[in-house]
């Protein structure tokens, strides 16, 4: 059978048997070319070498098309950044091959499979491969590559073009999910992707500022310039002047489950908020399984360190108990943690914001997920 007919037949079968993969495959142009050895996608096309197609069964080609579709669904063509190209391709294959197999499909025997990578992001797999490079990989593992996304003339995408492409992919993925859901055939491993795409994207820094100072400014001040305008454009503009930020208490998970880079970012944002909003006080309480440190800062004082003493187990109730037992004044309470905790107390009578590096649910308060 001609390669083009095999490709067309595979896509048709996918629409009825695996509508999520099939619907997404229909949004991609199929391009026959001898410039590549196997199959690959750039986010807009699936390219295939006719000789490769003819060497594999229809079931395997359906699996490879599904494999390429998942590269697009996870936007691997947009996410590589500075990562090594081959190792990134390898990491993405490990991440998606299990999803394709779990959906009951077949891929060529040379496909990269590692059960311990199940559920991990491609970035997480990449870092594991960096720490423990594979001693050997089967020949032909890269049967479904991911290429860089490019513009009309083959040049690199602009930031705006990349954003538009990401939005188009998300729309197509959500529509494909709806189609598969209506047929009762949503593949395992896709639900988390859909949940992430359906969730509103809120920058945790914006949420943190709104939580402490409100969404609207109390006033504007010319006493200090707006740092963004002055630093970027050299334009002297007033900055927002919030009054009444009151007393801020911050709980910090020092158990070791929150990485150092995220802690540094959180510390920087706390100091920026303290400078901009001038709270009466900021009290930082470090806690792992118990309270390890308490530091109080007055108005205008720089928060020097988040003091990660401890790095033991994770509990949050000791911080709430400390606030209660010491009758601390609290106008805003923020807890920086991954939320992998099981000792939540009763909801207090002050507002709580969980800035989470992990889970996105808590029994009380607001939750915003902090991404690196």
pTM of the model: 0.57
Q: Rounded to the nearest 5°, which phi and psi values hold at 31?
A: -125, 120
Domain boundary among 176, 197, 218: 197
- The total number of structural domains in the chain stands at 2
Q: Residue 156 gets which letter from DSSP? A: B
pLDDT at 242: 47
Angle of helix 260-277 relative to helix 204-213, nearest 10 degrees?
40
Question: Which stretches of the chain drop beneath a pLDDT of 70?
Answer: 1, 192, 195-203, 213-244, 256-257, 306-312, 371-372
Domain boundary among 145, 167, 197: 197
Residues 81 and 227 in one domain: no
Residues 278 and 221 in one domain: yes
Residues 115-167 pLDDT 10s:
988 888 888 888 888 877 777 788 888 888 889 888 777 788 888 888 889 88
Residues 258 and 173 in one domain: no
Residues 16 and 118 in one domain: yes
pLDDT at 244: 52
| Burial label, 312 (beta-carbon count in 10 A; 0-12, 13-18, 19+) | middle
Residues 230 and 156 in one domain: no
Residues 188 and 214 in one domain: no
pLDDT at 62: 97
Residues 222 and 145 in one domain: no
Tally of CA atoms within 13 A in the half-sphere of 43 that contains its CB: 24
CATH code of the domain in which 223 resides: 3.40.50
Residues 89 and 228 in one domain: no
Residues 193 and 264 in one domain: no
Q: Rounded to the nearest 5°, which phi and psi values hold at 251?
A: -100, 135
Residues 92 and 213 in one domain: no
pLDDT at 199: 55
pLDDT at 154: 73
pLDDT at 215: 40
Distance from C-alpha of 248 to C-alpha of 298, rounded to nearest angstrom:
10
Q: What is the dihedral of CA 366, 310, 205, 174, to 10 degrees?
A: -60
Distance from C-alpha of 250 to C-alpha of 343, rounded to nearest angstrom:
18
| Structural domain boundaries, residue 131 | 3-197
Residues 341 and 216 in one domain: yes
Distance from C-alpha of 288 to C-alpha of 256, rounded to nearest angstrom:
8
Distances in Å between the Cα of 48 and the Cα atoms of 6, 30, 32 are: 11, 8, 5
Residues 219-266 pLDDT 10s:
445 555 555 445 554 555 555 554 457 899 999 988 766 777 777 888
Distance from C-alpha of 325 to C-alpha of 331, rounded to nearest angstrom:
17
Domain boundary among 197, 218, 241: 197
Residues 191 and 210 in one domain: no
């Amino acid at each position: 059978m001609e390669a083009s007919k095999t490709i067309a037949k595979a896509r048709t079968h996918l629409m009825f048997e695996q509508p999520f993969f099939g619907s997404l495959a229909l949004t991609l142009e199929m391009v026959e070319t001898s410039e590549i050895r196997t199959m690959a996608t750039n986010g807009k096309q699936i390219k295939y070498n006719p000789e490769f197609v003819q060497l594999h069964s229809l079931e395997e080609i359906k699996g490879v098309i599904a494999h390429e579709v998942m590269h697009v669904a996870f936007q691997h063509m947009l996410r590589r950044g500075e990562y090594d190209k081959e190792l990134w391709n390898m990491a993405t294959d490990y991440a998606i091959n299990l999803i394709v197999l779990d959906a009951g499909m077949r891929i060529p025997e040379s496909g990269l499979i590692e059960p311990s990578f199940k559920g991990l992001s491609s970035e997480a797999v990449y870092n594991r491969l960096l720490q423990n490079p594979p001693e050997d990989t089967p020949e032909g593992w890269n049967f479904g590559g991911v290429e860089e996304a490019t513009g009309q003339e083959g040049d690199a995408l602009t930031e705006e073009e990349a954003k538009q492409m990401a939005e188009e992919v998300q729309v197509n993925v959500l529509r494909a999910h709806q189609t598969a859901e209506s047929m009762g055939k949503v593949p395992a491993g896709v639900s988390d992707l859909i949940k992430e795409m359906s969730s509103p994207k809120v920058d945790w820094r914006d949420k943190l500022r709104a939580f402490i100072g409100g969404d609207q400014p109390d006033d504007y001040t010319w006493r200090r310039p707006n740092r963004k305008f002055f630093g970027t454009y050299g334009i002297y503009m007033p900055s927002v002047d919030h009054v009444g930020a009151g007393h801020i208490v911050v709980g910090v998970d020092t158990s070791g489950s929150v990485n150092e880079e995220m802690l540094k970012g959180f510390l920087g944002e706390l100091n920026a908020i303290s400078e901009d909003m001038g709270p009466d006080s900021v009290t930082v309480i470090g806690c792992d399984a118990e309270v390890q440190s308490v530091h109080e800062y007055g108005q205008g004082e720089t928060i020097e360190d988040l003091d990660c003493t401890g790095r033991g187990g994770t509990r949050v109730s000791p911080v709430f108990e400390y606030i209660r037992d010491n009758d601390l004044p609290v106008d805003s309470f923020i807890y920086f943690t991954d939320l992998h905790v099981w000792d939540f107390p009763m909801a207090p009578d002050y507002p709580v914001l969980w800035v989470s590096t992990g889970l996105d649910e808590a029994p009380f308060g607001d939750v915003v997920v902090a991404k690196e």
